[in-house]
Amino acid sequence: MSHLIQYKNDLCAVLQRCLQHKSLDIKLAALQATSNLLCTAERKDTKSFVQLLPLMTQVISDALNEEDEVVLEDALVEFNELAEIEPAFFKPYFIDIYNRLKPVIKYQGFANTSIRQQPLEFVVTLVERKPAIVKKNQDLLKDILNEIF
């Protein structure tokens, strides 16, 4: 891993470009690569990758807009796996991510109905692992509970 981390700025720039690609498949591959890197790197080496979170979340929004359930599910799986391993990574953008996941939670037209549960699993995992994310924002906590129940 150290051989990659020495080039983390270059790697971050490449992943950023790929997350902005017009192809949803390329965006998903970049999301998966970013997630894999973050799951194996040490926390101190991942801070520069936080800036990619809005683009990573955009992959989910784009997949929903294009009604590509396969890409959507794969992207949500990456978020859930990363939330399990590195929940603090999401803290700076948690509210924005949650707001962008709400349309997935509310969408009723999925062929695979379990897709709607994955964003909730992500949110619950983060709240369980990092309760401070919602501790000072009671409105957010109420909104999350309303989505769950």
The whole-number average pLDDT for the span 117-137 is 94
Tell me the pTM.
0.93
In this predicted model, what pLDDT tens digit does every residue of 55-76 receive, in sequence order? 999 999 999 999 999 999 999 9
| pLDDT, mean of residues 33-52 | 92
* pLDDT at residue 1 in the model: 66
What is the set of domains in the chain, with CATH numbers?
2-148 (1.25.10.10)
pLDDT at residue 148 above 90? Answer: no
Contacts 24+ apart (CB under 8 A), 100-103: 100/57, 100/58, 100/60, 100/61, 101/57, 101/60, 102/147, 103/61, 103/64
- Residues 6+ away with beta carbon under 8 Å from 119: 76, 101, 102, 104, 105
